[in-house]
Chains A and B, each alone.
Chain A
């Protein structure tokens, strides 16, 4: 606030001056006029405004894409968990993630049945097995689920009554039509009727499809009945299951049942509710792959770049107009007023840059979803969150640029 740089203040007047008559303190004219001044200044130079806005648009776009992909990855990681139709789940104590689970004795499920709240139990088996592309003959590993078709445990897209019915026949499987294309043109092959393929060097008949898609842990997926699973995943012990799904009686208290199961079962299994199971899987991926860090870095880069561009524009606007700012100070404009002008400019840039950034991001989300099968969803909380980031970015730029206002010394206007 020391813009007048009072040099070494010597002793006051020898004759103590009479107290100054009470002047009305300078009243602030609110936010409207500083805002208007900022807008007039910005719009006067459209090319500079466009340059500043492009920085904000870039930051907005980058942040939306980073957050979009990060969430898509996390969502895909727990797609399976989120479509399991049961209330509680058992996994071996040492299991870290579904695709690399340690199996546990099927007897635990039988023990769980002893609990009165439990209606039924469903064992789920998983195995990573190679599928031979029927067109190219190349092998590629997919994730095979083995489950009782009548249990309807899996709620993946397209798993209807007919599909479950179809794999009750031995050596038949359902194939993931949303998997990577490297597994072959499953859908067009199936259009001509069921066809035979090779899964783990065993002949199987593909009798239907479902839609899950590539996830962190698998590039494609298939579903078989328990009997077919054991034949394909040779060497797997049928008495060892990977996930035990427990369906409770209607109205049962899930948390109480979970505690009862934990007390009832030996320590070699963990008990999860469904949200806990998804969180467990999410945590695994967050730990093994520094996803949050990598995408966080992308967001930070976007913010820093945006911040620098906005700061540059605001700073050079002040520097180039230092004389005008000093003139305004001489006319009785306060530092606070001029600071509000700069902050208004920052906020105008935030809003005007965010909007096209949002529209462009929506377009890129559409393209990502349609063209590369990574579902990116714009949600209102996400848009609000990104706007908040951009807003803070512009405010920070403004606050740094404001320091330059101190260089506008009205006493320097007279030289």
Chain B
């Protein structure tokens, strides 16, 4: 079973003479349970690929099947439903400043109508404990350090047991030590739970957490450069 199956995927921005094709006929498979890293120079199309997999952009050409859902020609409803089964980790933590750590994590569960409030909070708290923030459940993001915030974001991305976790430069706002620790934590939690992780990064220090590394250049997947 593959979490992501991409065949002949192309993408361009704009239309007419100014159109810019940023992805060229990509093929990519991410098996379930793997941690895959995507590297490549800035502007090579990594983020574009990630937003297509994350159902944040409409697929234009080719096939992109994520967690069993075909995204080519998928309507908004289908994409929103799929996004609820994905955990996102952003470059900036993007936590809601007016919510505590626990409430932020619980936001990932509020779209599930089968959970009641007590269950949501209990699961959020358990997830925060798993990322080592048991003592920060009631803290607001403003009083947390950058690393702590990113750990809250990881808890939020994992708490609703998503089939796929997508992260775009998750360490960019962190110093290298904290960045590495955070990614090791993400990898461990994902492995324990059998989650699939796809991380876009150009931070070579975190390559060791990957099962597989793919590289991108000018919108095409290439053999990763040895490091």
Report 24 cross-chain contacts, Cβ distance below 8 Å, ordered by A residue.
A4-B76, A7-B14, A11-B61, A12-B61, A13-B61, A13-B62, A14-B8, A17-B73, A20-B78, A23-B78, A26-B111, A40-B99, A324-B97, A326-B94, A327-B90, A327-B94, A328-B96, A328-B107, A331-B84, A331-B111, A332-B83, A333-B111, A414-B200, A415-B91
Chain B residue at minimum C-beta to C-beta distance from A320: B97
Q: A7-B60, A15-B63, A17-B72 are in contact. Are A26 and B13 (CB under 8 A)?
A: no
Size of interface on B: residues with Cβ below 8 Å to A: 56
When the two chains form their complex, are residues A414 and B110 in contact, meaning their CB atoms are under 8 A apart? Answer: no
- B48-56, B128-136, B177-185, B211-219: which one contacts chain A? B48-56
A330 CB–B CB distance under 8 Å: yes
State whether the Cβ of B70 lies closer than 8 Å to any Cβ in chain A.
Answer: yes
Contact: A410 with B56, CB < 8 Å? yes
User: Which residue of B19, B54, B79 contacts A8 across the interface (Cβ within 8 Å)?
Assistant: B19
Any B CB within 8 A of the CB of A128: no
Partner of A411 from B57, B72, B92, B113 at Cβ < 8 Å: B57
| C-alpha gap A94/B189 in the complex (Å) | 93
Write out the residue numbers on chain B whose beta carbons fall within 8 Å of the beta carbon of A415.
Answer: 47, 91
A407–B12 alpha-carbon span in the complex (Å): 21
Interface residues of A in 42-96 (CB under 8 A from B): 43-45
Which of A9, A20, A410 counts the most B-chain CB atoms under 10 A from its CB?
A20
Digitize A280-312: 1 where CB-to-B-CB distance is under 8 Å, 0 elsewhere. Answer: 000000000000000000000000000000000
A405→B74 CA distance, assembly (Å): 22
Contact A17 B63 (CB under 8 A): yes
CB-contact partner of B81 in A1, A14, A331, A332, under 8 A? A332
Bound complex: CA A9 to CA B72 (Å): 10
Q: Please measure, in the bound complex, the distance between the C-alpha atom of A14 and the C-alpha atom of B83, giving whole angstroms.
A: 25
Q: What 1/0 flags go to B75-117 for Cβ under 8 Å of A?
A: 0111111111000101110111111000100011011010000
Chain A residues with Cβ below 8 Å from B188 are: none
Q: A12-B61, A13-B63 are in contact. List 18 more A-B contacts (CB 8 A).
A: A4-B76, A7-B60, A8-B12, A8-B19, A10-B12, A17-B63, A20-B70, A26-B77, A26-B81, A26-B111, A40-B99, A41-B98, A323-B94, A327-B96, A328-B107, A331-B84, A413-B90, A414-B50
Contacts of B56 in A (CB 8 A): 4, 330, 410-411, 413-414
Nearest residue, chain A, Cβ from B9: A13
In chain A, positions 302-361 with a C-beta closer than 8 Å to chain B are 321, 323-324, 326-328, 330-334
Q: Cα distance A10–B72 when bound, in Å? A: 11
- Residue of A whose beta carbon sits closest to that of B77: A25
Q: Is the CB of A15 within 8 A of B7?
A: yes
Proximity bits, A21-51, B CB within 8 Å = 1, else 0: 1011111010001000000110111000000
Q: Is B32 an interface residue (CB 8 A)?
A: no
Interface residues of B in 157-181 (CB under 8 A from A): 168
Query: How near does chain A come to B58, taking the closest CB pair, in angstroms?
Result: 3
Please name all residues of chain B whose beta carbon is closer than 8 Å to the beta carbon of A380 when the two chains form the complex. Answer: none
Q: Knowing A6-B58, A44-B97 touch, does A26 contact B73 (C-beta < 8 A)?
A: no
